[in-house]
């Protein structure tokens, strides 16, 4: 997240923190963040330097600061430190219950029990976030996706808890949660009916955080079911709504959503542009708030044939997801990893990941996680059926195969390899390609590389053949689109 996505208040606060020498003023400023009716965790992340500098004495005396530090540790992916901070808070403090509400891997019943405790104390919860910027309620701050059935069956208990935690939004949160659950179980029409009735209401009430969730889910349904003639107006509408509400912290995820939707149209240029200009850098400061964007980035890597990059990022994410009890994200990660391994020829590893994902999907009904991946997952599921389950009936697997086949027929270009079948350029060819991008002639290429001019011409012909183009201008354009070289400044 970039500083430009911060509110005016947060920018002013950060300037004070950087330049003030008044310790008490700084502590009061950090405390005030969590008393606001609205704040985003993306903004809290920008305060991490000052939270990480807090002393043990300051944390003991100011529970709000301890709660803030716990959130920072969670965003860094350090779940153990987050738990330790939460355990240090006094039982008599509202922030202790807030810390418990944010405990990784918290179960459905625990969530509602904590809500009751809050009600008994008569405490009010300031600005309790739902999505962390991720476009989901069921899988936002908490992964409630394993408890979708319980939320539906225990409506009275669910509403009691929601009325305590979100008194003005309880009913619409319950409705949107139901819509998400219906979508993942492939009840897309029923989910859309709920959304169509709620989106105008949310716009009227200016409830932009929940509007963000509702409009994103609507986009998912329309795109994956082939109902969106063009997603650009939908994305632009969502982006404008968030800008108008001052929730610019959500824009990076909207940009990622735009890149994800472009994959269904095979719009390689848009995907490559997002990778180059807006995708999160997993090698810099790692933040779990970027999880949705990492998932989109790994799909882009698959399109580009960068399978080792997928493996590297999966290895980094998986322990955090498992430690945080994020079952839906874990399932999605195994699906992406399986598709990458299968494309890279590591078929046994791909089958192992499919097995892990199938277990989670069948237990918690993550049907659309598989179905939305189209042709690649369709072929992989058929291979899994043949190699590991051909001797016994597997109705759920057969259902996913059928669903993914439908998506493949609707979106034949989704996750198609961005490169020709044999695109691998040699080290010398890559050097020649970069010189072509610098508008060098064959004679200049020969001089700069120490080869004969005729040899330089042959390397150019090999590059054209591998990239399936006719001339040097097309070769450079395609190489930039594929992400093989950077565009000229």
Give the Cα separation of 431 and 305 in Å (integer): 20
Residues 301 and 392 in one domain: yes
CA dihedral 52, 53, 56, 57 (to 10 degrees): -140
Round to whole Å and give the CA distance between 88 and 104: 16
Of 410, 435, 465, which residue constitutes the final position of a domain?
410
Both 92 and 51 in one domain: the answer is: yes
Q: Give the separation between CA 471 and CA 209, rounded to whole angstroms.
A: 49
Number of domains in the chain: 4
What is d(CA 98, CA 383) in angstroms, rounded to the nearest whole number?
Answer: 46
> Which residues are registered as beta bridge partners of 139?
143
Q: What is the CATH number of the domain that holds 399?
A: 1.25.40
User: First CA to last CA across the chain, in angstroms?
Assistant: 24
Tell me, what's the pLDDT at 460? Answer: 94
Same domain, 406 and 443: no
Residues 229 and 145 in one domain: yes
Q: What are the residues whose beta carbons fall under 8 Å from the beta carbon of 44, sequence distance 6 or more?
A: 33, 68, 71, 72, 75
Q: In the structure encoding, which two tokens stand for residue 60, read together?
A: 């003991």
Q: Maximum Cα–Cα distance for the chain, whole Å? A: 84
Token reading at 211: 């509007």
In sign, the C-alpha dihedral spanning 295, 298, 299, 300 is positive
Cβ burial, residue 128 (10 Å; 0-12/13-18/19+): middle
Regarding whether 219 and 140 lie in a shared domain, the answer is yes
Same-domain status, 191 and 292: no
Q: What is the pLDDT of residue 75?
A: 87
Torsions phi, psi of 143, nearest 5? -95, 95
DSSP state of 33: G
Residue 422 lies in a domain: no
Stretches in the chain below the pLDDT threshold 70: 1-5, 37-39, 91-93, 103-108, 124-128, 133, 149-157, 390-392, 418-424, 489
367-368-372 Cα angle (round to 5):
140
Tell me which H or E stretch contains 427. helix 427-437
Q: For residue 461, give its domain range.
A: 427-482
**Is 108 part of a structural domain of the chain?**
no
Rg over CA atoms, the chain = 25
* Measured CA distances, 309 to 107, 191, 218, 253 (Å): 33, 35, 31, 21
Inside any domain, residue 420: no
In whole angstroms, what separates CA 467 from the centre of its chain? 31
Domain assignment present for 257: no
Output the pTM of the full model. Answer: 0.85
Per-residue model confidence (pLDDT) at position 317: 93
Residues 16 and 60 in one domain: yes
User: In this structure, is residue 418 part of a structural domain?
Assistant: no
Residue 145 lies inside a defined structural domain of this protein: yes
HSE (side-chain half, CA atoms, 13 Å) at 231: 27
Is the same domain home to 406 and 433? no
Q: Are residues 147 and 231 in the same domain?
A: yes
How many residues are given for the chain?
489
The phi and psi torsions of 307 (rounded to 5 degrees) equal -70, -30
- Provide the pLDDT for residue 448: 92
Residues 32-88: tens digit of each pLDDT: 887 776 667 888 898 999 999 999 999 988 888 988 898 899 888 888 888 888 788
CB 54 within 8 A of CB 263: no
What stretches of 344-394 show up as alpha helix (H) in DSSP?
347-364, 367-371, 374-388
Are 326 and 139 in contact by the 8 Å Cβ rule? The answer is yes
Evaluate whether residue 322 is within a structural domain: yes
Do 303 and 404 share a structural domain?
yes
Contacts for 231 with CB less than 8 Å, ≥ 6 apart: 219, 222, 223, 258, 261, 262, 265
Residues 199 and 228 occupy one common structural domain = yes
Domain annotation covers residue 265 = no
| CATH number of 437's domain | 1.10.10.10
Same-domain check for residues 362 and 406: yes
For 157-201, write each residue's pLDDT tens digit: 678 878 887 888 888 988 999 999 999 999 999 999 999 999 999
């Amino acid at each position: 997240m970039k500083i430009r996505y911060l509110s005016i208040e947060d920018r002013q606060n950060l300037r004070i923190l950087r330049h003030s020498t008044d310790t008490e003023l700084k502590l009061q400023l950090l405390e005030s963040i969590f008393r606001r009716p609205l704040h985003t965790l993306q903004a809290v992340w920008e305060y991490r330097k000052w939270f990480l500098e807090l002393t043990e004495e300051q944390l003991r005396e100011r529970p709000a600061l301890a709660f803030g530090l716990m959130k920072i540790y969670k965003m860094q992916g350090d779940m153990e430190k987050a738990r330790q901070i939460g355990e240090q808070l006094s039982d008599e403090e509202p922030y202790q219950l807030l810390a418990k509400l944010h405990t990784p891997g918290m179960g459905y019943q625990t969530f509602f029990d904590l809500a009751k405790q809050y009600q008994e104390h008569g405490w009010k919860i300031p600005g309790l976030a739902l999505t962390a910027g991720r476009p989901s309620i069921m899988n936002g701050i908490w992964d409630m996706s394993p408890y979708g059935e319980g939320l539906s069956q225990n409506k009275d208990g669910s509403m009691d808890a929601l009325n305590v935690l979100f008194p003005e939004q309880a009913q619409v949160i319950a409705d949107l949660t139901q819509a998400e659950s219906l979508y993942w179980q492939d009840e897309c029409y029923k989910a859309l009916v709920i959304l169509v009735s709620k989106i105008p209401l949310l716009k009227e009430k200016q409830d932009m955080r929940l509007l963000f969730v509702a409009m994103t889910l609507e986009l998912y349904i329309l795109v994956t079911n082939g109902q969106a003639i063009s997603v650009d107006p939908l994305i632009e509408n969502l982006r404008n709504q968030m800008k108008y509400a001052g929730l610019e912290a959500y824009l990076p995820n909207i940009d990622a959503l735009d890149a994800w939707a472009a994959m269904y149209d095979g719009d390689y240029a848009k995907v490559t542009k997002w990778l180059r200009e807006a995708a999160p850098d997993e090698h810099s400061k790692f933040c779990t708030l970027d999880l949705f964007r990492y998932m989109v980035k790994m799909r882009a890597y698959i399109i580009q044939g960068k399978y080792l990059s997928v493996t590297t990022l999966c290895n980094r994410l998986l322990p955090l997801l498992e430690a945080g009890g994020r079952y839906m994200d874990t399932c999605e990660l195994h699906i992406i990893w399986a598709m990458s391994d299968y494309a890279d020829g590591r078929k046994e590893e791909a089958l192992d990941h499919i097995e892990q994902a199938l277990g989670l999907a069948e237990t918690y009904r993550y049907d659309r996680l598989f179905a939305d991946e189209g042709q690649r997952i369709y072929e992989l599921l058929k291979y899994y059926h043949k190699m590991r389950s051909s001797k016994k009936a597997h109705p759920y697997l057969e259902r996913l195969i059928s669903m993914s086949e439908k998506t493949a027929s609707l979106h034949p270009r989704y996750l198609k390899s961005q490169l020709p079948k044999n695109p691998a350029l040699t080290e010398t060819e890559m050097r020649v390609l970069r010189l072509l991008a610098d508008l060098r002639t064959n004679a200049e290429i020969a001089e700069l590389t120490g080869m004969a001019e005729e040899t330089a011409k042959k390397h150019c012909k090999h590059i054209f053949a591998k990239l399936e183009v006719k001339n040097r201008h097309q070769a450079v354009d395609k190489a930039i689109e594929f992400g093989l070289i950077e565009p000229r400044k």
